[in-house]
Amino acid sequence: MRTVLNKITVIGVGLIGGSFAKGIKQLGLAKEIHGFGNNEENLKMAVDLQVVDSYSTDIQTAMQDCDLVMLAVPLGAMQPVLESLRPHIPQSAIITDAGSAKQSVIDAVTKVFGYLPENFVPGHPIAGKEQSGVAAADDQLFVDHRVILTPAESTSSAAVETVKKLWLALDARVEVMSAGFHDEVFAATSHLPHLLAFALVEMLHEHPELGNVFKYTAGGFRDFSRIASSDATMWRDISIYNHQAIAKWMTEYRDYLSGMIELVEKQDAEALYELFTTAKQARDQHIVNKQD
């Protein structure tokens, strides 16, 4: 990307927002990378770690002369943040985000602005790590990871291209799809597995029949339950803001699980073997494809 933007403001300088800011800063793709938030100590750390060039806790200052705004805040904070920036954002500024449920963000933007701005480009970087906060910001976080953009038909192609080029400069793999399809895909492949892990751990925790069953667990439980250590606030918001798609896939999984229960109760060895073999082959092929 050759075009250098004047000022990029990152709202929410944590792992994702901080990694985006740090990568863009190191590549020199903006004259100024500005961080905004309520936690001044966090913002000072972002400057000290060379994640951003400057910061403010005043939204008017953060929006002044801004070319692009990255919203890297929890889904539950999107609308309040949008309401605060709405009176101050330059009309020509591009707005993008990093939320993991897209239709809810689009709805929030539409509600705050009264329409869907043509310069709003919804996005979702599929990357992360167990550490959080600006101290974990990593300019290599998005390398070879997918970033999903879900522009509307009315979205400016120039705005989409600008956001796309920024992510490509960070060596991400950019894909474009509809917001609805995005929310269905990630409800099935990310949100559902997380909720299942939370449910299993919560169910077994101090179970009246089993007591402290966790002391008997080994690799299988550890692998399956690892994501139950994920941030509770984030997953509460995802469950609320993508509730329709998540409920749909939880219901489908429940129905499928009912069928498996019948196979186990009937001791249907052939059907169980076929199911396990099909699942193993599908996952093995998925791993091979990811390595290609």
Among 143, 177, 211, which residue terminates a domain? 177
Q: Which residue, 48, 42, 50, 47, is CA-closest to 12?
A: 42
HSE toward the beta carbon, residue 192, CA cutoff 13 A: 18
**Measured on CA atoms in the order 164, 169, 175, 179, is the torsion positive or negative?**
negative
Range of the domain at 272: 182-288
Type of residue found at 192: L
Banded model confidence at residue 1, pLDDT cuts 50, 70, 90: low
HSE toward the beta carbon, residue 184, CA cutoff 13 A: 6
Are 211 and 270 within one domain?
A: yes
pTM of the shown model: 0.91
> What total number of domains does the chain contain?
2
Are 222 and 273 within one domain?
A: yes
Amino acid 290: pLDDT: 74
pLDDT in tens, 107-143: 999 999 999 999 999 999 999 877 789 999 999 999 9
Averaged pLDDT for residues 226-249? 95
The pLDDT mean for the chain works out to: 95
How many residues belong to the chain?
A: 292
- The CATH number assigned to the domain holding 263 equals 1.10.3660.10
Are 201 and 79 within one domain?
A: no
Q: Give the C-alpha separation, 227 to 130, whole Å.
A: 9
Are 21 and 100 within one domain?
A: yes
